[in-house]
A = this chain, B = another copy of it.
Amino acid sequence: MKRRVGICTGGGDAPGLNAVIRAFVRDAVQQRGWEVVGIADSFNGLLEQPHRLIPLNPNATRGLVRRGGTILGTTNRGNPFSYTRANGEKVDVAPELAKAVKEERLEGLVCIGGDGTQAIALQLMREVGIPVVGVPKTIDNDLSATDYTFGFQTAVDIATDALDRLQTTAESHDRVLFLEVMGRDAGHIALEAGLAGGADIILVPEIPYDVERVAACIRDRAERGRRFSVVICAEGALPVDLAKGKSMEERWELLRDGGGAANIAMSSLRGRIQAEMRTCVLGHIQRGGAPCAFDRVLATRFGVAASRLVDEGRWGEMVRLRNGVVDGVPIEEAIATYKFVDPNGQLVSTARAIGVEFGG
């Protein structure tokens, strides 16, 4: 009897999800001869009657290397350990999920998702005995266990394109333009896109900024005849006086109430500088659509590595890229530490060396 494995995707969008699925399926089905089924909508497909499973084979995954989104869907009603039934009731459906996995004769599940999904996957393995292999997915590239996650470089590309466009307008029309990009807790997208797109000022959550220092930078530029500035701003960036002593939750409340990080930055500069200011918020544009070549290659490697981990019975591990090689790492270890922008790291130093202002 053929080996039979499930695969599912959880959490927000990231370009490359489909490429992981395709690569896993091609290796598992075509090369290894297994059966693979996709679980519809995260774990949900196994929690509904009848089960919603999508038989996967090379035909069903054709063309997915370049397609954004996920053919498996991700809508879910939350964590199986605290699941919201259609009738609103909150229950622990993990045992039910384990039963469904057995009924469907699935040897285990490949779970593509962020650190939340990985933590749940690990808990499912430990508490109800569902064997899992993880594939990390975070557009923010904020997992210390892997050098890169797919989707990140695509987001950087899109944000860089936006900066390229804003640059000419800012310069010709003497504007201070703010581009808000993703990054609630980690500012990697803002930092790399800021470097690539020639931003004058980069604001990230890890370096709370001094408003006056930012204003001084813009005024200094104006005195040198550069009467414009381009600012890239992670969605979690806050001025130092607002951020100081606040928990993550409190910061998020501040950001929401202030209309977002770019809006707060713009408002705080009002009165301190002269130029007209405008904000642009990329939002979901930076996490949808076709992945760039880098992310397609990475996602393909992750998909094939997931198949290898399954083959070697390395349940409880997550694939990751480390120094050019894709291998497995225990999920427990993988989700233990975040990767933040290091204010003293080489990338920030490089940015400072070419004159980028961080405001702190």
Contacts and interface: CB of A to CB of B under 8 A. Distances in A.
Contact of A355 (B31, B68, B71, B174): B31
Contacts of A75: 173-174, 227
Interface in A145-186: 147, 153, 156-158, 160-162, 164-175, 177, 179
Nearest to A12: B173
Contacts of A73: 172-174
A338 interface: no
A26 interface: yes
Contact of A69 (B169, B196, B285): B169
Contacts of A164: 66, 289-290
A300 interface: yes
Interface residues of A, number: 86
A324 interface: yes
Quick one: which of A153, A171, A173, A174 has the most chain B CB within 10 A?
A: A173
A137 interface: no
A268 interface: no
A169 B289 CA distance: 7
Interface stretch (A112-120, A210-218, A276-284): A276-284
A353 B160 contact: no
A78 interface: no
A98 interface: no
A287 B161 CA distance: 13
Quick one: which of A68, A157, A193 has the most chain B CB within 10 A?
A: A68
Interface string A182-200: 0000000000110111100
Given A164-B66, A174-B75, A353-B307, A297 B196 contact: yes
A157 to B, nearest CB: 5
B297 A192 contact: yes
B165 A284 contact: yes
Contacts of A283: 278-281
Given A65-B196, A162-B285, A196-B293, A354 B168 contact: no
A294 to B, nearest CB: 6
Interface of A: 12-13, 17, 22-23, 26-27, 30-31, 58, 63, 65-71, 73-75, 147, 153, 156-158, 160-162, 164-175, 177, 179, 192-193, 195-198, 227, 259, 278-290, 292-294, 296-297, 300-301, 303-305, 307, 323-326, 346-347, 349-350, 353-355
Given A195-B300, A304-B350, A353-B26, A289 B168 contact: yes
A293 to B, nearest CB: 4
16 contacts: A12-B173, A13-B168, A26-B353, A65-B198, A68-B172, A69-B173, A71-B172, A161-B289, A162-B285, A166-B285, A192-B293, A196-B294, A197-B293, A297-B347, A325-B346, A326-B346
A280 B281 contact: yes
A12 to B, nearest CB: 7
A126 to B, nearest CB: 28
Contact of A280 (B167, B168, B174, B285): B285
A292 B157 contact: yes
A285 B165 contact: yes
Contact of A284 (B17, B160, B278): B278
